[in-house]
Structure 1
Amino acid sequence: MRLTSLEGKLALLLALVALAAAAVAAWAARAFDTAGAGILVAAVALVAPLLAAAHFAARPVIALLRALAGSVTAFRDGDFSFSLHNSRRDELGDLVAAHNELGRVLREERQHLFQRELLLDTIVQNTPTALLLVEPGGHIVYANVAARQLLNAGRALAGERFDAVVAAGPPALAQALQRGADSLFTVAIDGEDETFHLTQREFNLQGRRHRLVLLRRLTRELARQEVATWKKVIRVISHELNNSLAPIRSLAHSGRELARKGDGERLATVFDTIEERTRHLEGFIQGYARFAKLPQPRIEAVGWRQLLDGIGRHYPFRLAGGLPDAPLHADRAQVEQVLINLLKNAHEAGGAADAVEIAVLDHGADWRIEVRDRGAGMSETVLAHALLPFYSTKRSGTGLGLALAREIAEAHGGRIALANREGGGLQAALNLPKAARA
């Protein structure tokens, strides 16, 4: 036991009190000739000194405990600036030192947290991706600079109703939000078409369900991808032409030699091979020409049952819901080509064949034809590039199917959109106007 410890100080105080009591009792016993009188006198004489000693010993401890209580209350309220003066060398001094160290650590942690929050807010505010956080009641609680510029002409959005902001925006945004999954949509801004990628996520924040909405511009990225795609097209065409022209040139030379020698039997084989390579090259070129020279659609009234029965002979599907009574006004052959391409992709997506379905929906001024599957869906990268010409993730794919579908849809005054489905799979939505706009 250390003499400077709290235990040592109390023991020393009690020892002094005991010695003083013994001395007074001995004096009183001699003075009054009885032990009882001596004890009584000693007890009466030591009451006041004992009270004074107890007050003297407890006063600094009580003051310190009060200071600690006030400091802990300040910590609870988030004020970590308090520290206590420490001049004691006992256990209470150790407690004060620990308290001061705790305050220092909390101050540093709060400063680091503030700096990290400031860095995060700076990054979020200046990112080109528009970001909105919507609370369960439907009010916007956070919107960065890009979101304010895109949806509210740079004005604040916090506190606004999210559905009111969406209603005042382009219809394509509202349609993309209704789909409830990641998707692409295009809107006209300052006379230029801008393509956006929409992402929606829900999560718990402070015990409440919030929705995070991200809008990312893809126009520049798509433009860069288109340049890269055209370079790829040139390489593909050059490679295919070389693969056909080189053997044709060689066979032509061989045929000339065989003709000079009069070897007609072998000459026929050379001509057959040249014809086969020429036919292959012709089919290759025509496939690309069909995409590059898509004819203007010939609009006519097409019955829905007639249209779907025609494509059902190529790829089976299940009809989800009924069919409208009003006909579709479109180029039947081109729309059939789009739906056949979409059904082909749906059957090749890896899901069950009986899960492939088509739904025809009345979407205001448009008819909306949805082709759905339960396959693997698409990653965000593939979703962003799937409609580009010659972009394909298939080993033997040409990358023309979805690009041609987009060209046909836009030629009709409509559009095509891809989105992953909840529960797995992909939804390809073909929107065509009820009144022909081609």
Structure 2
Amino acid sequence: MFNFISGLSLTQKIMAICVLCSVLPVVSITIISQHPLYYSVLLVIAAMLISILLARALTKPIKLGLKSLETGLLNFKDGELSSLLAYKNNDELGKLCLLYNQTAKQLRQEKQWIYQRELMLDKVLQSSPQALLLVNDNKIVVFSNLVSRTLFNSKTQLEGTQLHELLSDAPIQLTNAIEQGVDGLFNIEIDSHDSQTWHLSTGEFLLNNQKHHLYIFKQLTRELSRQEVAVWKKVIRIISHELNNSLGPMSSMLHSAQLLASRVDEPRLARVFSTIDERISHLTEFVQGYGKFAKLPTPQKSAINWQNTLNDLNRQWQFSYTVSSTQSILHADQAQLEQLLINLLKNAHESGSNPSKINIDVTFFSNTCIVDVSDGGKGMSEQVMANALVPFYSTKSTGSGLGLALCREIAEAHKGQISLHNKLSGGLNVQVTLPCR
């Protein structure tokens, strides 16, 4: 009997209770009143029919509410959060359905927020300069970014690839580093004359109850090149010091020799001394140029008068300029700032740009001064732009590779920064950001 009752649905149990509650009193009354049997049977049947009809009418809203909740929970199970329940009766089930709808709306908002956050995270990871590789416990790549494709010499996505298949075409040094599975440095030979230094950082964590392995590859070649530049600066300072020690006496002796030669009627001596003087001047200028980069003095800051500074430069270089505010003041080293602008203007004119399209725009934001130098040239390729600020890198046959590097040194000496961007309309825009004080 109890097994039979437990197998009934909630509405069926309610109907059974209603039938029992109506039939039992009728049966008791007929027994006490001693009516004929047929009369008692008719009363019991009538009571049962009436109670069943009333129970069905009363349990119909309950059945609809429970059906709505069941449908909603099935939608939750399938990850569908956009559907809301239409049951709005003012009863306990109506309150449950209302609570369900409120929960569904909140979960839908949180899902959209998580989705946008995942998009942002994916954008950040894809744009990261570090190569990222996520491998599950079955040695299958489940995530990679753009840099990792370049590292593994792949033109397609790495997701879904077996790790051993990926390593089959990878450099042997990279394969060994991954197989060792520990943090460390390794070099990848590009060719017989060049190599790249990478740092590998590894980690393990659980994702969807499955162990995953994360490999982070950071290229240290640029960081090491900065250390190399520091060494070069020291070498340049030593060489410049020794050359200056020699050029000073040579220039003095040359002057004395020219005075002695003036008493001798020999025109060839004048040409010889003139050539020597020219070469000494050229060598002095050459040493001074490298010396500016190797030993940039601490900026001696003063208030910059932009109108006077740009007007003075306009006498040497053709360009247009705008200054957004004459009230805001930049405190910087006048000589170094002029040298920075001269280098940028020189590059702009050498880019093949029409001089009328070369412009300097000075704007102030809060406590920051932004100097934009733009031209209408060809811009820079990806490879050139990646190395444009590296000292001694130049695409010009007669270039020293110190122009933009010196600009960066000056900007960083002022606690600022420099960035380069190709313009959509063509040409290059160099933006120098400097603190006003």
TM-score (norm 1): 0.42
Greater relative contact order (CA < 8 Å, ≥ 6 in sequence) = 1
